[in-house]
Chain A
Amino acid sequence: MDLNIRNFCIIAHIDHGKSTLADRLLEKTETIPKREMIKQVLDDMDLEQERGITIKLHAIQLKYKAKDNNNYTLNLIDTPGHVDFSYEVSRSLAACEGALLVVDSSQGIEAQTVSNLYLAIDANLTIIPVINKIDLPSADIESVKKQIIELIGCKDEDIILASAKQDIGTDQILEAIVNHIPPPQVVEDVPLRALVFDSTFDIYRGIIVYLRIFDGKLKAGDKVQFFQTGINVEAEEVGTLKMTRIKKDELISGDVGYMITGIKTVSDLLVGDTIINTANPASEPLKGYKKVKPMVFSGIYPSQSEDFENLREALTKLKTNDASLIYEPETSSALGFGFRCGFLGLLHMEITQERLEREYDQNIVTTVPNVEYKVHTTSGEVSLVDNPSQMPPIGEIDYIEEPFIRAQILSPSEFMGNIMKLANDRRGVFVSTSYLDAKKVDLQFEFPLSEIIFDFHDKMKSLTKGYASLDYEFLDYRKSELVKLDILLNGDPVDALSSIIHKSKSYEWGRKLCTKLRQLIPKQMFEVVIQAAIGAKVIARETVKPLRKNVIAKCYGGDISRKRKLLEKQKEGKKRMKQVGSVQIPQEAFLAILQIES
């Protein structure tokens, strides 16, 4: 029985110094020698490092000799830091007994931190509050302390003052982990129950499951079952996680480690699932498992239709380390063959698109993101619509429901007016307000999800000089006055440009969308008439005048090879556009709606 294990994670807002602190802990415990230390080891995807956010979860084991002269095993479980991944965060938290709450001394508590903190408190975790970046000239330690005390009711002296960058407070943090976080409850003589909190895909070994053993033990060679999917596998290899995988004969109650089973299909593995022993199965799974549901949907198409199979392959590969990505083939009359993809949120969508382009070298066209609607038809049926072009004709619709979310916005109180105005523009319903301290206000709203998936976050940031932060959770479906806004080019509806929008905004949006499209669609051979319509009713119209002159006047002699190459280039440019009827549409046009100033 090993009482010297501590399983913990770090709760922090983006840029509040989580990764730097993790680096210090790795250094202090000599998990990795200082000179080999690449900045922020935990975030190993390029994109994560660039965006300063952790997308995938990881875990790492640290060996620490504490001041009491005992050796401790500290398992640091990393958590993703964005609103889209709150379920994954909750599963990582469930694998821990404690959490470091890291708050930037100049920024104070942010909405994201609060919601993750509540998840941690719900999971009965011991919270160790840390104020980071105390060396900053703009540090306001006193008010951040007040905010923390207000939130978790700790004592002033419990709060550790640190600067991960300057290595201030690191020792204190390590001691607090050992002294305040309880060791895991060890339950050995019962059937195995292990929590899957993450996985990665290794091209040679298949899926690597990251797990926390709650009950019993897991030996290499054991036959095990995933409770939710019912899949039976053999635990080919088990071990703990340092900078590399350390193979072990067995993992026991309280341990955090990995398991390799040879599973290749990521959909067989669900975060939050419970691993049980096939021969001696536990009767109940661990609590907290949820099926992750996508909230935001968008079409992803190859910019050249012959690349459809390549895109499918890229998505398949991407899916192997992003189980929450959902996709299925769809066809658009405008864009041809592509995929309708479901994402946990807007950031998840952006990351997926960027990874497809950068890691998988795909040239893609994406359509405007939308939420999933519940459409009640006059015949009494309810259908789920995640693509505007699938919306039944107006005459067949009784009413439409859309998803609503509860949003928490934390902001300096001086920007309250701006936030209220923005919320009002986005059909927000004000719920409550409370003060974290004299300067920081906590605003609660209810919003239609569709209103915050476009540019709400950017807008909010610019209206609050970057100080406000947002967190949200799904509430319910509510009846709304929604209409489908169609765009017609030379009389033909372009399905990929359709959107679902609140009736009160439809005229203004129709007009603005037409204007934007006029700017984005280049002059071509023939006039292009752009119309916005609701049902059969045209509500706005613009025209792109035809091209009047496009010919290089001179062609003599050897000019011909050069001229042919110029033409090839022009053709390449055309290829990147999508041809709909007689109209060529540049890729940017499909996201025109995102560029509209509301």
Chain B
Amino acid sequence: MAGIYLHIPYCNTKCIYCDFYSITNHSTKVDMIDCLIKEIESKAIELKDKKFDTIFFGGGTPSLLLPSDLNKLFNVLYSNLNISSDSEISIEANPGTMNRKKLESFKELPINRISFGVQSFNNADLKFLTRIHSGRQAIDSIKEAQDAGFNNINLDLIFALPGQSLKGWEKNLETAVKLNTQHVSAYSLIFEEGTPLIKLYKLGKVRPADEEKERKMYDFTMAFFEEYGFNHYEISNYAKPGYECRHNLKYWMHKEYISFGPSAASYINDYRWVNVRDVNEYIKRIKSGTMAYDFIEYIDYDKSIDEYIMLGLRSTGIDINILRERYKIDFFSKYKSAAELLIKNNLAELKADTFYLTSKGYAVCDEILATYF
């Protein structure tokens, strides 16, 4: 089973840390949706043998779409692709763009999971991150979504903000679990190239949290969610059992996905391609009937194995049987000394033919990958 992703690039404002493709000028929206439809239709034949069981509306701020826009897209998706009836269908939402009425109308659509970009419940943090909503609005939106009948909700939180205290972060986590959502993504702030945030950093106006503090926050987060019965199934993701995000697991388990819209990436039949990161160019190409991608690569054996291990160690682990069957690699001979060393130091475990990182290992996952795999 494969996943489907649609990228909706519009936002009301651009947050300083965000490096996803998004724009604040919405004038292309009607054209963009037409092109999404055209792009989906153009792929129908190629994908006729594939089955899909997740759909994810990401962005940008897909919650800016009108229910009627979404409805159109669903119609096209269902009539062109084989989509399973028990699919997980997620939409990302900005609490500042939501209200009860909109949530109720979303509930009328096939959407069954909402992911709220909360980031923090602290208004000072939110101001630093240039978010448009308040802590109060975030809480209200989540409650409204629950009232509207959504029972699979994620909220995103960011830690290791400049100046954030461990106490402040703990408070965020406590507020989050009280809301009783099924899923939390808690990731540390990344200073991405090309963002206003990194410009501020380069100008010396903001300082990232120091390594030790970041590690403490991360350790606390992991222990905290464990206590509340969440399953830590990826570096930055925690879910109540059975509520792991099936769509994101496609990425993390090296499964296939088809994506539509500017900057969207697909991985089908060993090819990965990424569409142009410019809505006008995207519209121009789709309208003229040409391909919208500006990057394509064949994932050969070497790349595939690297990705499988990288993604596996970031999430649910490497399946030794898959290594042997798909990649003809005997884990125990190829990675013996590394595995022993990591296990001995409580950085990894091996259970039921799966080699996976512990919380201690997650904290230095990139180092482990670069050093031993």
Residues on A facing B (Cβ under 8 Å): 524-526, 547-561, 563-564, 567-568, 570-571, 573-574, 582, 584
Contact = CB atoms under 8 A, between A and B. Distances in A.
B270 to A, nearest CB: 13
B190 A552 contact: yes
Contacts of B264: 557-558
B238 interface: no
B190 A555 contact: no
A553 B265 contact: no
B119 to A, nearest CB: 13
B366 A525 contact: no
B367 interface: yes
A582 to B, nearest CB: 7
B364 A550 contact: yes
A571 B56 CA distance: 32
Nearest to A551: B365
A555 B367 contact: no
Given A559-B265, A563-B310, A564-B307, A571 B370 contact: yes
B235 A553 contact: yes
30 contacts: A547-B211, A547-B364, A548-B211, A549-B364, A550-B365, A550-B366, A551-B235, A551-B314, A551-B363, A551-B364, A553-B190, A553-B236, A554-B190, A555-B235, A555-B251, A557-B5, A557-B265, A558-B263, A558-B264, A558-B265, A558-B266, A558-B272, A558-B274, A560-B267, A561-B274, A561-B297, A564-B306, A564-B307, A564-B310, A574-B370
4 smallest CB-CB distances across A and B, nearest first, come from A558-B265, A553-B187, A570-B370, A548-B215
Interface residues of B, number: 46
A360 to B, nearest CB: 29
B212 A548 contact: yes
Interface string B203-240: 00000000110110010000000000000001110000
A551 B363 CA distance: 6
B320 interface: no
B106 interface: no
A550 B364 CA distance: 4
Contact of A560 (B5, B187, B272): B272
Interface string B156-182: 000000000000000000000000000
Contacts of A559: 251, 265
A574 B311 CA distance: 20
B116 interface: no
Given A550-B364, A552-B190, A584 B371 contact: yes
A550 to B, nearest CB: 4
Given A551-B367, A567-B310, 6 more contacts: A525-B364, A548-B363, A552-B366, A555-B251, A568-B306, A573-B370
A207 to B, nearest CB: 45
Contacts of B347: 525
B362 A564 contact: no
Nearest to A569: B370
Nearest to B186: A553
A365 to B, nearest CB: 19
Contacts of A549: 188, 211, 214-215, 218, 363-364
